[in-house]
């Protein structure tokens, strides 16, 4: 009996020691958690300068620092977003006619319009990024493009090839004129960077209009 009692008490005693160690270990963990919680509470205090600054940055609206005035940012942003919408609309229209081209000059016209579409699409990112650089917001969606564009869509099932070219020629001449107006807005606010980009785009629009005009000329 004595031996059995020793065998039973031995493990029980060890379990008791283990329980004490676990209890002591838990006590240490609890103290550590309390210290961690205390630090967290300190960091999250409303009057903590560091926390306030982090919260301000997280909740701040999109804004870019610029030496242009708020009025300049507003005017140039509105002007260039309208140009951006027109360029997107003209890009899609050019691709539309590129896809639906027909007739004996199909290859030449098809390739010409593809070249023009690539040139138009290449304008879109620099325009949008320029708006962001001066502290403005640019277009967000297809819906916003549709509400802003001034280029008329053409959803006809069939358009004569020469009519396609003539319509695109007129659209490019109109785009060039609107780019000149945008240049005037930039000049008014001394935004030489946007103005310099616009000068290149005017030249490209005039070149597209020139090619389209010559391609539609009929023999005398």
Model confidence pLDDT, tens digit, residues 162-191: 999 999 999 999 999 999 999 999 999 999
**Does pTM surpass 0.75?**
no
Query: Of residues 69 and 20, which shows the higher confidence score?
Result: 69
Reply yes or no on whether the pLDDT at 57 is more than 90: no
Reply yes or no on whether the pLDDT at 16 is more than 60: no
**pLDDT confidence of residue 98:** 98
**pLDDT confidence of residue 15:** 46
Tell me the per-residue pLDDT of 125-165, one tens digit each, with 9 for 90 and over.
999 999 999 999 999 999 999 999 999 999 999 999 999 99
**Binning pLDDT at 50, 70 and 90, where does residue 32 land?**
very low
**Binning pLDDT at 50, 70 and 90, where does residue 53 land?**
low
Tell me the per-residue pLDDT of 91-132, one tens digit each, with 9 for 90 and over.
999 999 999 999 999 999 999 999 999 999 999 999 999 999
- Cα–Cα distance, 103 to 99 (Å, whole number): 13
Are the CB atoms for 136 and 66 separated by under 8 Å? Answer: no
Q: Could you tell me the two tokens for 1?
A: 């009996």
**pLDDT confidence of residue 200:** 98
Mean pLDDT of all residues belonging to the chain = 83
Residues of the chain with pLDDT > 70, as a percent, come to 72
**pLDDT confidence of residue 12:** 46
Residues of the chain with pLDDT > 90, as a percent, come to 67
- HSE-up (13 A, CA, CB side) for residue 139: 25
């Amino acid at each position: 009996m004595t031996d059995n009692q020793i065998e039973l008490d031995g493990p029980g005693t060890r379990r008791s020691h283990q329980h004490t160690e676990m209890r002591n270990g838990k006590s240490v963990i609890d103290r550590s958690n309390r210290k961690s919680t205390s630090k967290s509470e300190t960091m999250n205090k409303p009057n903590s300068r560091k926390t306030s600054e982090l919260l301000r940055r997280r909740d701040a609206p999109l804004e870019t620092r610029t030496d242009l005035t708020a009025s300049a940012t507003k005017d140039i942003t509105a002007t260039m977003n309208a140009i951006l919408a027109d360029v997107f609309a003209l890009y899609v229209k050019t691709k539309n006619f590129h896809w639906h081209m027909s007739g004996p000059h199909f290859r030449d016209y098809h390739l010409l319009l593809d070249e023009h579409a690539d040139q138009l699409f290449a304008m879109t990112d620099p325009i949008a990024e320029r708006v962001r650089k001066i502290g403005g917001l640019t277009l967000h969606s297809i819906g916003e493009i549709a509400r802003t564009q001034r280029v008329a869509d053409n959803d006809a099932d069939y358009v004569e090839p020469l009519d396609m070219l003539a319509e695109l020629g007129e659209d490019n001449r109109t785009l060039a004129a609107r780019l000149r107006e945008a240049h005037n807005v930039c000049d008014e606010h001394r935004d030489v960077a946007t103005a310099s980009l616009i000068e290149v785009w005017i030249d490209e629009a005039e070149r597209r209009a020139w090619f389209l005009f010559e391609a539609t000329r009929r023999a005398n």
